[in-house]
C-alpha cells in the first residue's frame, strides 16, 4: 500500500506541474506480456531463470515539438514475477532449489514519439527504473534501461485520443550496481492508452 501511495504522490505532483503546459496527458495499461530474464557476458551458470506474465499501469504525458514529433514521458508501475531454479549437488544427492517472487518496478520513461501517416507512430527512449520489490529472486532492476515500440492512434475532435502500442523494454541495461553478471528483465507487452489534449 505504501508503494501505491508513493506512486500516486508522484503522479499528483507531476499533474500540478503539467497543468500549465500544453500537450496531452493520459492513462495507460500494459498487458499481454511475454517476459524473460537474461544475463550478458560469458558467465557460467547452471540455473534456469524465468519471468512470468506481468502488467503495468501508469500515466503518460506528450509534449509536441512540431507537427510530427512529441516528447513522451510519464510514470508507470510494473507488477510481474520471476523465478530461479537450480540443481544443487549434496552428499545425499541432488536438491532442486526453486525460488520465485514478485518484481515490482516504478519506471519513468523519457523518449520521443514520431508520428506518421496520421494514425501511426514509433516511440523509444531511455527508461529510469526504481526497483521496489521485497522478494524478487533476480538482481535489483534499479538503473537505466531502454524501450522501443510502434503503435496506432486515433484522435477524436473532442481532444481525446486512444492508442495501442506494442513495445519492448530492457530494464537495468546500466544497473545501479555495476556488476557485469547482473540479470536483466526483458519486457514485451502491448500498451493501451487514453489521452486528453490540455
Dihedral sign for Cα atoms in the order 74, 142, 33, 5: negative
Pick the more confident residue, 197 or 46. 197
pLDDT in tens, 117-149: 999 999 999 999 999 999 898 889 999 999 999
135 φ, ψ (degrees, to nearest 5): -130, 30
135: exposed, middle or buried (Cβ count in 10 Å: 0-12, 13-18, 19+): exposed
Options 3.20.20.60, 2.40.160.20, 3.40.630.40, 3.40.630.30; CATH for 2-197 is 2.40.160.20
- CA-CA distance, 188 to 185, in Å (whole number)? 10
The domain segmentation of the chain, as residue ranges, is 2-197
Asked whether the predicted pLDDT for residue 156 surpasses 80, the reply is: yes
Dihedral sign for Cα atoms in the order 22, 162, 110, 117: negative
pTM: 0.84
159 φ, ψ (degrees, to nearest 5): 100, -5
pLDDT in tens, 60-97: 999 999 999 999 999 999 999 999 887 766 677 666 67
Amino acid at each position: 500500500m505504501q508503494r501505491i501511495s508513493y506512486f500516486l504522490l508522484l503522479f499528483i505532483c507531476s499533474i500540478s506541474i503539467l497543468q500549465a503546459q500544453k500537450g496531452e496527458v493520459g492513462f495507460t495499461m500494459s498487458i499481454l506480456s511475454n517476459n524473460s530474464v537474461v544475463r550478458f557476458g560469458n558467465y557460467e551458470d547452471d540455473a534456469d531463470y524465468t519471468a512470468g506474465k506481468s502488467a503495468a499501469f501508469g500515466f503518460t504525458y506528450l509534449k509536441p515539438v512540431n507537427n510530427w514529433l512529441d516528447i513522451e514521458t510519464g510514470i508507470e508501475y510494473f507488477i510481474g514475477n520471476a523465478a530461479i531454479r537450480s540443481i544443487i549437488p549434496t552428499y545425499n544427492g541432488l536438491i532442486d532449489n526453486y525460488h520465485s517472487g514478485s518484481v515490482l518496478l516504478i519506471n519513468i520513461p523519457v523518449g520521443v514519439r514520431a508520428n506518421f501517416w496520421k494514425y501511426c507512430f514509433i516511440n523509444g527512449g531511455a527508461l529510469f527504473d526504481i526497483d521496489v520489490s521485497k522478494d524478487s529472486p533476480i538482481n535489483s532492476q534499479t538503473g537505466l534501461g531502454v524501450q522501443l515500440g510502434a503503435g496506432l492512434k486515433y484522435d477524436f475532435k473532442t481532444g481525446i485520443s486512444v492508442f495501442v502500442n506494442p513495445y519492448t523494454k530492457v530494464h537495468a541495461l546500466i544497473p545501479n550496481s555495476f556488476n557485469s553478471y547482473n540479470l536483466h528483465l526483458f519486457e514485451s507487452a502491448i500498451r493501451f492508452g487514453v489521452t486528453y489534449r490540455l
